[in-house]
Amino acid sequence: MRMGVLGSGMVAQAISARLAELGYEVMIGTRDAEKLKGWQSSNQRVMIGSFAETAAHGEMVFNATDGAASLQALTMAGTENLSGKILVDVSNPLDFTDGFPPSLTVFGTDSLAEQIQRAFPLTKVVKTLNTVTARVMVYPLEVANGDHHVFISANDVEAKSQVMELLRSFGWVNIFDLGDLSTARGTEAYLLLWVRLYGAMNTGMINVKIMK
């Protein structure tokens, strides 16, 4: 299966490398290919392309771009290249205008995931992995031997099922289905707590477990 990963930062690099490790044909999309040349030397199975080339390449596409620029990046990727495909949205609408800790560009009555879905109605947007750091996204067993939860939200039930299967291949044991895409409002807002936990614990290798 061909996978496209949009973005060139830590999250995009981690997801691309893990997908390649699992045997997928992976392309990572960026505005600046030179930025990834050094990284690619250690990840030679991952191809580098533009946003449009990467979206066209992937049978499933990950949005790992900066949340504040995600809509612009996805527009560059091209509506026709995303139409009918699953778009796994791992971005967060973080606003660093006033420094750290960040605020959110959208919250409460809307979410970035929903904005993406409205902008690309023929694309099956699935929100997941945005509540953990890049390393935990792809190697969840490194925290508490996997005894913690990842959340997933989507309107399309079959798309959600396919992404859940992929998450299990990453090592996720506990996947909490929150429901439709409107529930992404909660997971995106959770980042306001996550950054505080990061600051208090001085590590991103953390996550939460749901119990009752």
Instruction: Show the domains of the chain with their CATH numbers.
Output: 2-201 (3.40.50.720)
Q: How far apart are CA 157 and CA 180, in angstroms?
A: 9
What number of residues does the chain have? 212
How far apart (Å, rounded) are the C-alpha atoms in residues 112 and 94? 10
* Sheet-wide strand order for 47-49: 47-49, 25-29, 2-6, 60-63, 86-89, 124-128, 149-154, 174-179
Contact 68, 46 (CB under 8 A): no
Using the Cα atoms of residue 53, residue 58, residue 63 and residue 64 in order, give the sign of their dihedral: negative
Helix (H) or strand (E) holding 176: strand 174-179
What is the pLDDT tens value at each position of the chain, 212 positions in all?
A: 999 999 999 999 999 999 999 999 999 999 988 889 899 999 999 999 999 999 999 999 999 999 999 999 999 999 999 999 999 999 999 999 998 889 999 999 999 999 999 999 999 999 999 999 999 999 999 999 999 999 999 999 999 999 999 999 999 999 999 999 999 999 999 999 999 999 999 999 999 999 99
User: Residue 142: its pLDDT value, please?
Assistant: 98
What are residue 150's DSSP bridge partners?
175
pLDDT value for 209: 98
The pLDDT assigned to 37 comes to 87
Q: How high is the pLDDT of residue 35?
A: 87
**What's this model's pTM, rounded to 2 decimal places?**
0.97
Nearest in space to 137 (alpha carbons), one of 46, 206, 36: 206
Q: How far is CA 68 from CA 59, 112, 201, in A?
A: 25, 9, 26
